[in-house]
Amino acid sequence: MSLGMFFSYVRSFAACHNPLGANLINYATFVGVIHHELSHALLVILTGAKLSRVQLFNLNHSDGFLGSVSYYSRGGVILKSIQKTLISVAPIFMGLITCSLMYTYLYPIATATIWGTLLFYYVWISIILHMSLSHQDIEVMKEGIFIFVLLMTVIFYVFHIDFVVILLKAIR
């Protein structure tokens, strides 16, 4: 089980047994919420969609949203599907990239002091906690995932790309 899934279970457990507990976790890890929303916003820009509104952290989230990014997909059906899929899953990939870069470049510097170590792990855990996709992220992803996967399959087939081999080489 991944660390992100573990923390997601902790957050869900806290919400079921004490709604205040889940809110405290969300407020305490607001850095992860901000990273989550910035990940969506970055992919909106990179995929060519039109960014209309960004709310990095919602203190009064009675509507259930800790933050939000609103955008309009642009282009044809294929481009819109790519945009919706990539923008929806952005927190996962951007979280992995950010945590990897933090560990590679900041960990040696940050762990020189106890306060640096605590700050490093606070930010790192906050990002991991909020890498999971929200219900809204999943709903938007479902709108574009079929065409996205179909397109990737065709590209891999036409260019003889063996994704499994590439993935195994990257892991080594």
Residue 157 to residue 169: CA distance in whole angstroms: 19
- Is the pLDDT at 80 greater than 80? The verdict is yes
CA 150 to chain centre: 23
Distance CA 111, CA 119 (A): 9
pLDDT at 9: 62
| pTM for this prediction | 0.80
Question: Has residue 5 got a pLDDT over 90?
Answer: no
Give the CA dihedral 136, 27, 30, 6, nearest 10 degrees. Answer: -70
Radius of gyration of the chain (CA): 18
pLDDT over 90 (residue 12): no
pLDDT tens digits along 60-76:
656 567 888 999 999 99
Q: What is the pLDDT of residue 1?
A: 43
Structure tokens at 41: 């916003």
- CB 69, CB 44: distance < 8 Å: yes
For residue 56, give the nearest of 43, 41, 75, 74 by alpha carbon: 41
Amino acid at 75: G
Residue-averaged pLDDT of the chain: 86
pLDDT at 35: 96
What percent of the chain clears pLDDT 70, i.e. is strictly above it? 83
| CB burial of residue 113 (10 Å; 0-12, 13-18, 19+) | exposed
pLDDT at 122: 95
Query: Given pLDDT bands bounded at 50, 70 and 90, which one contains residue 166?
Result: confident
- The tens digit of pLDDT for each residue in 121-157 reads 999 999 998 898 888 899 999 999 999 999 999 998 9
For residue 27, what pLDDT is reported?
78
Please choose, from the candidates 42, 48, 37, the residue with its C-alpha nearest in 3D space to the C-alpha of residue 75. 48
User: What is the pLDDT at residue 150?
Assistant: 94
The pLDDT, as a whole number, for residue 28 is 82
φ/ψ (deg, to 5) at 47: -90, -5
